[in-house]
Chain A
Amino acid sequence: MMAAIILVCSIVFLLQFFVSYCRSLIAASIKHPLSAEVQDVTGIKTSATGDDFARVVQLLQLCPDRPEDRGGIQAIGTYFGLLGVVRASVARLIPSLRAWTEAERGQCTYFAAVTLERRIAFSRDMFAQQLET
């Protein structure tokens, strides 16, 4: 009985913490303006949509990754998947929830684009260092 209560509480708390954590990652990156170059590559001009997420992640995988960024993008990838489940199930019945999931999915794409920009800058720095040596 005790273990069952702990399990239910843990899952409820986990969902709350995880969603808030992902939104804090997004909120920290949303102020970062995208460079013209990344806007061209990703096709994100003003606002991003959830449909572009997979494409931006594919572009991300082409760049050398940094260990400190890995956790963030994996968490956002999981959050994006979770939003997809909500969108395909409960959100079909509640229009306001559908609009919210769409907005959140777009912000996930923006987070991925900001991470892409950082990785491009990192790769450029590495290349410049190699040229110097």
Chain B
Amino acid sequence: MSHELDPAAASAVEEALRLVEAHGGEVTVVTMGMPNAVDEIRKALAMGAERGVLISDPALAGSDTLGTAKALAAAIKKGQYDMVICATESTDTYSGLVPGQLAELLGVAALTFAKKVKVEGSKAVVRRQTDFGYQVVEAELPVLITVSSGINEPRYPSLKGIMGAKRKEIATYSAADVGLSPDQVGESGAREKVLTVGKPPTRAQGTVVTDEGDGGVKIADFLASLKVL
């Protein structure tokens, strides 16, 4: 089974690569996951990232969002950075809390929900999505930025990129390597508990018809039956 890079994560990598191409520097990919998450890191390296960091440890299983953010923060603090770019939310949990927690733990400003990212001198300038349109927000580097998948079209790795990725370094850290104790992460450190798992109430199956040239009329009839026409 191939491990595709999450689309939002791919956009985060792409945005980082574009900034590095324009301003210099290098991109490091950091993730937490099972040992096979190296496949995803390789994809990012094939796109052009320079190095990868995987935090992987059975003790991390069952981490809640804050546990995840603590592990990422601990690994990121081992290196130097001007900018941390995260996907606004991962497609598996959609909680969207990890980036904000991570920024707080790193002690950097968070520029969230970015639709456009620029670096001007020592500042990051972001066009940030809002309910009514967008805001322009800025902060001095270092900053954490969250991007959603619409921000760019992630590049496909070239053959050269794929070959090159095999030689790039991926550091693997355990929880202890990044200085985390078991009570901070994993299931034992989790501050949230799932009580029950269930199915939501489902809708009664509706009527589905195949258009035989009168589909529009049938919808109009249905609307009329609801007394809205």
Does B bind A?
A: no
Please give the residue numbers on chain B whose beta carbons come within 8 Å of chain A beta carbons, in ascending order: none
Please give the residue numbers on chain A whose beta carbons come within 8 Å of chain B beta carbons, in ascending order: none
